[in-house]
């Protein structure tokens, strides 16, 4: 019998009740308020339950959830999670409409929205509001991300908890549309707004250019997250906003009292900042799971090359990599030298995305089990596409070890978990960066290395000076990391009364390389107009997150219960989501019940197509709502024959062919494996070696007999970088001549007679970098500083003569002082 399906269909030919998503963004200075409207329509002849699992920014505070059916508007309430679920189930079983919004207990950037009992022909409009802080980028832009891509999260073997089913389709098959508009306002002029997606032109709303609107061009393909970068003039000014409390809330409560939000940009003394640290233990942890395949792993290898060349002499380093298992280059961190650097580079060139799943917990435990090296502060760099299911467990481990290191995290590719990447950096006292679309990884990583080379700030304290009768309760956790020019946000609840003209003062004191220092900010206690409750909700979210992250393992179930009770109370009072609460709305309506059995429809989410599957995978995210395997995938009829294997970063799986595969329990259990295995047509790829698994590996990297490093990458900049020695110098040889685009004779002939070859080679390399690669200066700046330092230590004669001769040879006009000589 042929089923007559109207409307939009998934690739499984099931109707999709979600028709469109409309997003309105309002940015005020560095805080964003977002309103998402999801429009549903049931075009089937039976009542539906639509379930949509989707990503939100990891630090978003969801503060409003409502549904409109016809002319009826139902506003949801925040309730304890189990109570909300029971109320939802009871409503559906008694034929009422109900709406449930839940945050994942494992990862705060994943939400599940259930729309229950949508009768035939009925439409519903769901309104979801959240507020979030905007992260400051290395180039001073503020980054807003609208996650569109939800990748499967790898659930480590043996981890507990149920799952909620997520249907996922390739981006091109997403059956609903997205419209997105933004309004930006700030005390300072908006200089520009950029995006990774096509935008309509920026429209200014006033002559000061401090207000503007911008829209996403029509026809978004759902193949990437929507990223907006907002630039203000004079962005690095400290600011304070005082927001009045809610009139209906009890005075003395968080929502009843005024709340202040301070945005601080510490400025460090120039004398301390002029010399970067020449010590440290640098540990690099690289994700080599299947989903890192292709350009991601190649970019990561190029980035490790730059990092290794930029490290200071006298430091220690090691490189770990992980998937389902993990590896390290050295048994423990080794001193940085020409020999250890060469050995590491050889191993890096052989690295491929061939280690299966994303088990990040075990390598982190291994790193933390190594004793710290005296007077070498540990700096951990984590590179991952962030597809882990045990996010909170990983962040807790970093937090537990935050006293012994700083953690710098990098989220690679679309759909990287913002909760994981931001959480690692926040709890590890470091800095987070996201690399999406066609972004080059190198500039962002080198920015973080510059932060890591800054002396660690210790003894950080925040003191308040307020008028008599006014007191403050800190709502933010203590500041654990300060970096030159990076923002720190502090929230405080203000209690008591003062005269209207009163002002307060906050002082941040700290010690930097043994020098006591401080920054101050004076602010008015007069509440700002028209801020709604944005600041209160962000403060509540900060407090909820701190409570959720509190360590309770050692204190037993009783304390866990106390913590949960506190979170639930705060979440209900502030109307902000948490891991222990849900939003629930029930349409009591006119008493009419909906007849007939409910049919469940899973709304598909876009996913990047790692596995080259022709049918959509169905993933299980941990939302503790439904028991089930970590991942279930129904292969479509057109899959290739079982000739070959391709590994993919996904958890334990059951695969059943739709066409002819038997679906007996025996067949399914035989298919269960630690890593997912899919079939590929070319049989010659059967047993892939590290050199032949489809990665971008240089031909020379397979010559294991040769003890010299592999041939340099083809990119001219990386080719030159590859040839630099650990000490910072270059050697005058045919490889350098080729990298400079010259013959050996052309390079050797103009060398002044009294100058040694290494000095001449190093000056030539520096002139080439300054003459031809200024657009990538942030990538090579640190290794150029190392080279200049080496040159100064040589006390070489005729440096001016060398620079003139080098400019003449290369056709440049670089001044000697620009080279740092």
Domains of the chain (ranges plus CATH)? 18-151+171-234+576-599 (2.60.40.1730), 259-276+456-526 (2.60.40.1230), 280-453 (3.40.50.410), 604-685 (no CATH), 714-819 (no CATH)
Beta bridge partners of 72: 69
Q: Which residue has the higher pLDDT, 151 or 765?
A: 765
In degrees and rounded to multiples of 5, residue 613 shows phi and psi of -85, 145
Which tokens go with 507? 């002082």
Q: Residue 309 has what pLDDT? A: 93
Whether 571 has a pLDDT exceeding 50, the answer reads: yes
Whether 748 has a pLDDT exceeding 60, the answer reads: yes
> pLDDT tens-digit profile of 774-817?
988 989 999 999 999 999 999 888 889 999 999 999 999 998 88
Region 95-106: what's the mean pLDDT? 88
Q: Which of 397, 380, 379 is nearest to 388 (CA)?
A: 397
Count of C-beta atoms within a 10 Å radius of residue 35: 14
Whether 118 has a pLDDT exceeding 70, the answer reads: yes
Q: In whole angstroms, what is the distance from residue 435 CA to residue 426 CA?
A: 18
Q: Which of 113-122, 332-341, 386-395 has the highest mean pLDDT?
A: 332-341
Q: Residue 696 has what pLDDT? A: 35
Q: In whole angstroms, what is the distance from residue 564 CA to residue 544 CA?
A: 10
Least confident of 235-244, 525-534, 546-555: 546-555
Count of C-beta atoms within a 10 Å radius of residue 594: 17
> pLDDT tens-digit profile of 247-278?
888 888 999 999 999 888 877 777 766 665 67
Q: In whole angstroms, what is the distance from residue 627 CA to residue 620 CA?
A: 9
Which tokens go with 114? 């259930």
Q: In whole angstroms, what is the distance from residue 194 CA to residue 192 CA?
A: 7
Least confident of 55-64, 150-159, 425-434: 150-159
Q: In whole angstroms, what is the distance from residue 108 CA to residue 264 CA?
A: 26
Residues 542, 567 contacting (CB under 8 angstroms): no
Q: How far is CA 154 from CA 168, 394, 403, in A?
A: 15, 13, 28
Q: In whole angstroms, what is the distance from residue 151 CA to residue 386 CA?
A: 9
Whether 709 has a pLDDT exceeding 70, the answer reads: no
Q: In whole angstroms, what is the distance from residue 693 CA to residue 696 CA?
A: 9
Q: Helix, strand, coil proportions of the chain in percent (round to 5)?
A: 25, 30, 40
Count of C-beta atoms within a 10 Å radius of residue 459: 9
Give the angle 100-102-107 at the CA atoms, nearest 5°: 165
DSSP for 71-117, written as a single string: TEEEE-EEEEHHHHHHHHHHHHHTT-EEEEEEE-SS-TTEEEEEEEE
Residue carrying structure tokens 């250019």: 209
Residues 525, 492 contacting (CB under 8 angstroms): no
Q: In whole angstroms, what is the distance from residue 655 CA to residue 657 CA?
A: 7
The strand ranges marked E within 652-714 are 654-657, 676-679
Torsion of CA 603, 607, 613, 616, to 10 degrees: -10
Residues 6+ apart with CB under 8 A from 643: 679, 680, 681, 682, 683, 686
> pLDDT tens-digit profile of 289-299?
888 888 889 88
Q: In whole angstroms, what is the distance from residue 770 CA to residue 251 CA?
A: 61
> pLDDT tens-digit profile of 635-654?
222 223 333 333 334 333 22
Count of C-beta atoms within a 10 Å radius of residue 509: 14
Q: Residue 4 has what pLDDT? A: 34
- Mean pLDDT of all residues belonging to the chain: 79
Name the band, by pLDDT with cuts 50, 70 and 90, for residue 607.
low
Whether 568 has a pLDDT exceeding 50, the answer reads: yes
Name the band, by pLDDT with cuts 50, 70 and 90, for residue 320.
very high
Q: Which residue has the higher pLDDT, 439 or 363?
A: 363
CA 332 from chain center: how many Å?
28
Which tokens go with 755? 């100058």
Q: Residue 676 has what pLDDT? A: 29
Q: Residue 474 has what pLDDT? A: 92
Q: Residue 89 has what pLDDT? A: 93
> pLDDT tens-digit profile of 467-483?
988 999 999 888 877 77
Strand-pair category, 259-264 with 239-243: antiparallel
Name the band, by pLDDT with cuts 50, 70 and 90, for residue 691.
very low
Count of C-beta atoms within a 10 Å radius of residue 585: 23
pTM for the whole structure: 0.74
- Where does 417-493 have alpha helices with state H? 418-427, 441-453
> pLDDT tens-digit profile of 57-88?
878 899 999 998 888 889 999 999 999 999 99
């Amino acid at each position: 019998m042929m089923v007559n399906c109207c409307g939009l269909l998934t690739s499984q030919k099931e109707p999709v009740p979600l028709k469109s998503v409309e997003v309105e963004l309002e940015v005020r200075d560095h805080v964003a308020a977002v309103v998402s409207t999801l429009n549903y329509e049931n075009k089937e002849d039976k009542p539906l339950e639509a379930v949509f699992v989707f990503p939100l920014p990891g630090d978003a505070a969801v503060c409003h959830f409502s549904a409109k059916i016809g002319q009826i508007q139902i506003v949801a309430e925040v309730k304890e999670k189990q109570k909300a679920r029971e109320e939802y189930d009871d409503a559906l079983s008694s034929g009422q409409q109900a709406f449930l919004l839940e945050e994942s207990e494992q990862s705060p950037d994943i939400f599940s929205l259930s729309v229950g009992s949508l009768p035939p022909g009925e439409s519903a409009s769901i309104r979801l509001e959240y507020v979030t802080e905007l992260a400051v980028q290395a180039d001073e832009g503020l980054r807003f991300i609208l996650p569109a891509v939800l990748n499967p999260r790898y659930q480590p073997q043996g981890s507990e908890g149920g799952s909620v089913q997520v249907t996922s389709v390739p981006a091109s098959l997403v059956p609903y549309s997205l419209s997105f508009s933004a309004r930006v306002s700030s005390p300072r002029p908006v200089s520009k707004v950029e995006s990774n997606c096509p935008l309509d032109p920026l429209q200014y709303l006033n002559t000061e250019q401090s207000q503007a609107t911008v829209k996403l061009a029509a026809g978004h393909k759902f193949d990437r997250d929507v990223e907006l970068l907002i630039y203000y003039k004079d962005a690095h000014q400290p600011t304070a906003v005082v927001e009045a409390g809610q009139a209906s809330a009890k005075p003395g409560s968080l929502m009843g009292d005024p709340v202040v939000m301070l945005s601080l940009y510490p400025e460090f003394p120039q004398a301390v900042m002029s010399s970067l640290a020449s010590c440290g233990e640098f540990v690099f942890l690289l994700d080599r799971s299947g989903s890192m395949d292709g350009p991601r792993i190649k970019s990561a290898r190029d980035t490790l090359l730059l990092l290794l060349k930029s490290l200071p002499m006298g430091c220690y380093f090691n490189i770990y990599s992980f998937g389902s298992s993990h590896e390290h280059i050295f048994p423990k961190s080794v001193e940085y030298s020409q020999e250890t650097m060469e050995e590491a580079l050889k191993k890096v060139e052989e690295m491929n995305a061939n280690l299966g799943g994303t088990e990040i917990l075990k390598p982190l435990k291994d790193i933390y089990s190594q004793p710290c090296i005296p007077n070498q502060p540990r700096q951990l760099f984590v590179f991952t596409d962030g597809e882990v299911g045990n996010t909170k467990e990983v962040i807790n481990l970093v937090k537990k070890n935050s006293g012994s290191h700083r953690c710098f995290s990098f989220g690679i590719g679309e759909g990287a978990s913002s909760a994981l990447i931001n959480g690692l950096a926040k709890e590890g006292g470091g800095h987070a960066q996201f690399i999406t679309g066609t972004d080059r990884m190198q500039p962002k990583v080198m920015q973080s290395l510059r932060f890591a080379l800054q002396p660690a700030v210790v003894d950080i304290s925040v003191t308040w000076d307020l008028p008599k009768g006014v007191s403050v309760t800190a709502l933010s956790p203590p500041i654990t990391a300060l970096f030159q020019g990076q923002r720190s946000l502090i929230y405080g609840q203000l209690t008591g009364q003062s005269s209207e003209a009163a002002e307060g003062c906050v002082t941040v004191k700290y010690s930097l390389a043994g020098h006591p220092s401080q920054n101050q900010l004076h602010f008015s206690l007069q509440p700002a107009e028209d801020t709604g409750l944005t600041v209160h909700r962000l403060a509540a979210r900060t407090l909820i997150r701190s409570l959720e992250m509190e360590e309770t393992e050692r204190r037993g179930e009783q304390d866990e219960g106390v913590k949960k009770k506190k979170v639930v109370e705060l979440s209900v009072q502030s109307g902000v989501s948490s891991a222990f609460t849900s939003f629930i709305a029930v349409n009591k309506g006119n008493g009419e019940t909906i007849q007939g059995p409910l049919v469940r429809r899973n709304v598909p989410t876009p996913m990047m197509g790692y596995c080259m599957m022709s049918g959509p995978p169905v993933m299980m995210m941990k939302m503790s709502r439904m028991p089930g395997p970590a991942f279930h995938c129904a292969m479509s009829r057109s899959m290739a024959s079982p000739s070959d294997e391709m590994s993919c970063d996904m958890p334990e799986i059951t695969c059943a062919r739709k066409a002819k595969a038997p679906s007996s329990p025996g067949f399914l259990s035989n298919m269960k494996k630690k890593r997912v295995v899919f079939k590929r047509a070319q049989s010659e790829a059967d047993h892939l070696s590290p050199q032949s698994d489809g990665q971008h590996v240089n031909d020379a990297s397979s010559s294991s007999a040769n003890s010299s490093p592999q041939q340099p990458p083809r990119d001219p900049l990386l080719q030159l970088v590859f040839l630099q020695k650990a000490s910072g110098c270059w050697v005058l040889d045919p490889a350098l001549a080729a990298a400079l685009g010259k013959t050996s004779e052309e390079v050797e002939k103009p060398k002044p007679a009294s100058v040694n070859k290494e000095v001449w080679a190093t000056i030539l390399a520096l002139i080439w970098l300054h003459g031809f690669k200024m657009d990538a200066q942030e990538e090579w700046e640190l290794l150029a500083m190392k080279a200049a330092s080496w040159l100064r230590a040589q006390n070489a004669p005729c440096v001016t003569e060398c620079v003139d001769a080098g400019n003449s040879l290369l056709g440049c006009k670089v001044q000697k002082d620009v080279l740092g000589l």
